[in-house]
Structure 1
Amino acid sequence: MAETPGPDGRPPGRPPAATPLGRFRSEVRGAITPRAGLIMLGVLVIELAFVVSYIGAFHSPTPDRIPVAVVAPAAEQGAVIEKLNSIPGEPLEGRPADSAAQARAMVLEREVDAALLVAPQERGDRLLVASAGGPSGVQTLELVFRKADPSRPLQVTDLRPPNEADGRGLASFYLAVGLVVGGYLASAAASASYGARPPDLHRVTIRLGALAVLSVLSGLGGAIIVDQVFDALTGHFAAIWWIGALTTFAAAAAGMAFQILLGPVGIALSVVIFVVLGNPSAGGVYPAALLPPFWRDVGPALPNGASVTLLRNYAYFGGHHTATAWWVLSAWAVGGVLVSALVVGFRRRPAAADGPPSPTAAGGTGATA
């Protein structure tokens, strides 16, 4: 029979701590459980990882092999490209283009970030850019070219600036951030009902169905906000809607898979992947070419970066250069569904081998479902 605690919370017969330090330890043990202490330690780790990731990605943006198409007389084109590629630090990667029209198309189809039109008989050169793909990247390009040859004037032509209501061209980034956060929070909310690990494939299917419906509504809401309410990304309502739906579902399905694999710890893993790593590497604040190697490499493989690419390129560039981003989002969505189904299916097999469940287990109590 359990002993009834005394008025001070200690079992009867146990003397109070004799020293102030002992009393303090006793009070701490009574206020914070070991499990709560571990959770707080985990929060500290995630917090510091957040700081490291964001400062590491943004503290010193440096251009790295930004692709630039070069149009110049045949006798000089090779020398111009070699000069661009030999700039200290390799900020540029020159590529030949046959004509100004081809170079313009390469910029607008996102094959290159800019195009340099060299006219030796004239006093200056012309740089074609598309700041809707990232104003900070265009500013960096201008600085690189002006430093490379300060004596030669450079005329910059912006082929595709952001919409007036899109300001710094960040609407696609903030929309993607909201959609991804909504997705993994939705999966966490679903786990609050009957636990992070559904007991069978039927419950998994129901949860995934609910997340799919929420994702469609999420994409619709996002499209209404950026198109109809703020006029930031206009003229591509249906495309933005379904990109938003897939983005939300990819994060939700992956978040659910993490929770089924790891329990509540899976929510922390979602935060690490989608917030700590995904946001700074998404190419929103700075394009990938300005990020350090780790963030530049990991960004396109995460839902955040894929979503930004899709939203931006459909809103401004006719959907060009988006195949990889579609595959990435689809892989996260399908992978989340398959992992959830397979893990729950394998966990059900040992239980089935032990015989039919008892009436209590079959009915459930609601605490472990």
Structure 2
Amino acid sequence: MTSPPEPRTDAATLVDQRRAWTTLVITGLIIGTAFIAIYVGLQRDPEPSRLPIAVVSEQLANNAQAGFGNTVAVTEVASVADGRAMVRHGDAVAVLGAPSPTTLTLEYAGASGFSESGAARQLAAGLATKTGATVQENDIVPLATYDSRGLSAFYVVFGVTLSSFVLAQGLTAAAAKVRLRHRLYAMGGFAVAIGVIAATVAGPVYGSLTAPFPLLALSLILLSAASAFTTKALGAWLGPAGIALAVLTLTTIGNATSGATIGVDLLPQWAQAISGKLPPGAAVRAVNNFGYFSGAHTVAPLAVLTTWFLAGLGFVLLRQRTARRRPLTAEAGR
């Protein structure tokens, strides 16, 4: 038997096919270039900008401000104990004192990250060199024993964000086969599951994150929900372009500027401005503040994560409602 002839492909179909694969290639190149440019660019030569340091006595505060300039935000305190309280509360990276004309003391929070605590130590060493003094250092808020480089928060946050994005992307592609409420249930259930699993592995199992387990799990659950529902909303409204935008916003820019690899005070101004407003940056703040700084300043990051989650859910439901109204409007216009 002779097989039937293959259907002819017209010019318009060829153009559509070419546009489909070229769009994917270009999108991939844009995402890859942005990922490399942002991550590598931020690592090139980070410099502190208004690094918060508490300084004991007016004279030392004036000397420090004159010597450090805009690299440091000096807060004058009455005693080392007052400055130490600021450090342990997350309001300052270090407290600088001068118990004698030839000695400077620097008590710092290693938990603020190597970049920020390292910058404080370098600045103190520079000031000591100018005055001919020696520096006595003490890490009063050290990193967890099993987080020697202070990168566990970054990897946990990145992993939760990425897995939640992948789930939302897959569910968006399967929209024709999976009902909306089942997609929403899947993302909500996944957020709880991945949050608990990540908190268990990084917390009790490995001992890398020291936040109390319920608070650590809550932070990561909200991060997953924020990432997944935001991706779903962008995909529902903008299609493939929305998925690409989610990659750029959440997994690329969000994680690069989170402050987990490079301290927030060493980021350029544009990165500082958006760091805590994106889900990864908010999650890093919540995890670290719960773990090292007695839960100080955690209301804002939890509110940011909740807002992204609820906004994503709201836009998904709104898209569904507008899609249902469209056929009725078309029928009425006939």
TM-score (norm 2): 0.90
Secondary structure at 1:165's aligned position in 2? coil
The residue correspondences of 1:1-369 to structure 2 (distance < 5 A) are: 4=5, 33-72=18-57, 77=58, 79-87=59-67, 90-119=70-99, 121=100, 123-150=102-129, 151-195=132-176, 203-234=179-210, 236-354=212-330
Q: Which amino acid aligns with 1:162?
A: L
Q: Which letter does structure 2 place at the counterpart of 1:56? A: G
- Do the aligned partners of 1:67 and 1:92 also contact (CA within 8 Å) in 2? yes
Compute the displacement of 1:131 (Å). 0.5
Quick one: structure 1 residues 315 and 40, their matched pair in 2 at CA, closer, same or farther if it must change by over 3 Å?
A: same
Q: Which amino acid aligns with 2:104?
A: D
Gaps of 5+ in 2: none
**1:106-137: CA deviations, max 9, x gaps?**
10111111111222x35312111110121221
Deviation at 1:167, TM superposition (A): 1.1
Identity fraction in percent:
26
**Does the 8 Å CA contact 1:64/1:89 hold for their aligned counterparts?**
no
Distance 1:10 1:256 in 2: 34
> In structure 2, what is the Cα distance between the partners aligned to 1:234 and 1:94?
29
Tell me if the contact between 2:60 and 2:97 (Cα under 8 Å) persists in the aligned partners: no
How many residues are paired up? 323
Give the partner amino acid of 2:182. I
Measured after TM superposition, the shift of residue 333 of structure 1 is 0.6
Task: Return the alpha-carbon distance in structure 1 between the equivalents of residues 295 and 250 of structure 2.
Answer: 24
- Aligned CA distance change for structure 1 residues 40 and 235 (closer, same or farther; 3 Å): closer
CA contact (8 A) 1:259 1:266 kept: yes
Aligned to 1:164, what secondary structure does the other structure show?
A: coil
Residues 185-241 of structure 1: CA deviation (Å, up to 9, x unaligned): 111121232349x8xxxx434322221111000011001111232121246111111
Report if aligned partners of 1:70, 1:94 keep a CA contact under 8 Å in 2.
yes
Distance 1:82 1:307 in 2: 36
Question: Residues 71-129 of structure 1, C-alpha deviation per residue, up to 9 Å, x if partnerless?
Answer: 12xxxx1x32233223365211111212222211110111111111222x353121111
Counterpart secondary structure, 2:158: helix
Q: Which secondary structure state, in structure 2, belongs to the residue aligned with residue 94 of structure 1?
A: strand
User: SS at the partner of 2:255?
Assistant: coil
Unaligned runs of 5+ in 1: 12-28, 357-369
Provide the C-alpha distance between the structure 2 equivalents of 1:325 and 1:58, rounded to a whole number of angstroms: 24
Q: What amino acid maps onto 1:178 in structure 2?
A: G
Q: Could you tell me which amino acid in structure 2 is paired with residue 41 of structure 1? A: I
Could you tell me how far apart the structure 2 residues matched to 1:344 and 1:310 are? Answer: 33
Higher helix share: 2
The residue identity in structure 1 corresponding to 2:185 is G
Residue 221 of structure 1 aligns with an amino acid whose one-letter code is I
Cα distance in structure 2, aligned partners of 1:10 and 1:243:
52
The answer as to whether partners of 1:58 and 1:280 remain within 8 angstroms in 2 is: no
Q: 1:85 to 1:123 in 2, by over 3 A?
A: closer
Amino acid at match of 1:276: T
The 3-state SS of whatever aligns with 1:87 is helix
Distance in 2, Cα, partners of 1:230 & 1:340:
37
